Amino acid sequence: MKWEVAKSRGNVINEIRDFFKNKNVIEVETPSLSMGTVTDPYLDAFSTQYNYLDNSDINQSQQLYLQTSPEFHMKRLLASGYGCIFQICKAFRHEDSGRYHNPEFTLLEWYRIGFDQHDLMAEVDELLSTVVKSPKSEKISYQNLFIKFVSIDPLTATFNQLYEVIELQGKAADWLYESDDCDLLLQFIFSEIIEKNIGLSRPCFVYNFPIAQASLAKECVEDNRVAQRFECYFKGVELANGFNELTDANIQITRFEQDNSKRQQLGLVTKNIDENFIKALQSGLPQCAGVALGIDRLMMIALEKSAIEDVISFPIERA
C-alpha cells in the first residue's frame, strides 16, 4: 500500500467512526485470542497453545484460537448490559489468500439493539452511501435470486436438480457429485454462478438464507426453512454478512451440534462449543441485529483498487 493510499484509508476509517458517533453507537475492543471458536464447517480458525492459565498446570497447555470475527465476545458484552456497539478489529481465517482475501484482515462489526435484519440492511446501505457514495441498494430474497438467475427454487430442489444446474454451466466435478450434499451444491451455485451477476452497479442485499447456512440467526416466522440472515454485494465483492441474532441458548446449542455433525460428514475435526458464549445467551441476549463488514474490501471500492494487497500494508506473502 502506497503512502497516498494509506492516508486515504485513514480518512475512510475516520468517516466510519464519525458515522457511528453520530448514531451514539459506542466503539469497543474485544480479545483476538479466545478459548472458544466457531463450529461453522466452512470456517477454519488459526490456533495456538498457552501454558499460563491460572487454573491449569504450567506443563499443560491450553489451546487458544485467533478469532474469525469478534461476534461471540461482542454478544457477551450485549448480554452483560451494553448498549449498541461497534468495533474495527483484526480477524483471522485460515483460507487461501487472493484478490479479495488475506488470512489476517480488518473487520467492522456492529450490533443494534431492537433492530431486525431489514433495519440493519437499511443502516448498512446508509453507511455505504456515506463512505463510497453508492446509489440506493436493491433487495432480493435468496429464494427469488435462484429463481431469477438459474430458474430453480433452492428451498425445494433435489440434489439431482441442483447438480443439473452446475452441469449446464459447465462446472461439473466429481467431488461435488460425490458429496451428496444439497447445501454444498447451493453454496457452489451461489458463489460460482450467481454471485458474479449481482450488485454490479448498486449494492445488492440478499436475505432469508437457508437455515442450514445461518446457525447464528433467528428462524423466519413466515417460513421455517430459512433464517433471518443477509449478505451485501457491491462492485462484484461480497462486503457484509448480517443476522437478526438468535437469542435462544437451547436452539443455539442445537445449531452448533448440527455444525459439528456436518464437520464429521466432511471429515473435519469437530469443535468444542464455546461455553462462555452459551452462558451469555442463557443470561439473556436482548433482541438485536448484527453485521460484519470487510473493511479491506470496502477500501478496494472506496479507493478504486483492484486487489486487497493495494489497500493493506503487508499481505501474508510479505508479512
The average pLDDT across 17-27 equals 98
Sheet with 62-66, strands from edge to edge, namely 33-34, 62-66, 47-50
Q: What is the share, in percent, of the chain residues with pLDDT greater than 70? A: 100
Q: Is residue 242 over pLDDT 80?
A: yes
The average pLDDT across 283-294 equals 97
Considering only CA atoms, give the Rg of the chain.
20
The average pLDDT across 157-183 equals 94
Local structure of residue 214 (DSSP, 8 states): -
Q: Cα separation of 266 and 198, whole Å?
A: 30
| pLDDT score of 236 | 84
Query: What's the distance, Cα to Cα, between the start and end of the chain in Å?
Result: 13
- Would you give the distance in Å from CA 177 to the centre of its chain? 27
Look at the block and give the residue holding cell 463510497.
132
Q: Cα separation of 314 and 293, whole Å?
A: 20
Q: Which grid coordinates are listed for 36? A: 472458544
Q: Which grid coordinates are listed for 173? A: 466435478
* Tens digit of each residue's pLDDT (9 = 90 or more) over 99-139: 999 999 999 999 999 999 999 999 999 999 999 999 999 99
| pLDDT score of 241 | 97
| pLDDT score of 54 | 80
Local structure of residue 194 (DSSP, 8 states): I
pTM of the model: 0.94
Q: Is residue 59 over pLDDT 90?
A: no
| pLDDT score of 60 | 80
Q: Is residue 53 over pLDDT 90?
A: no
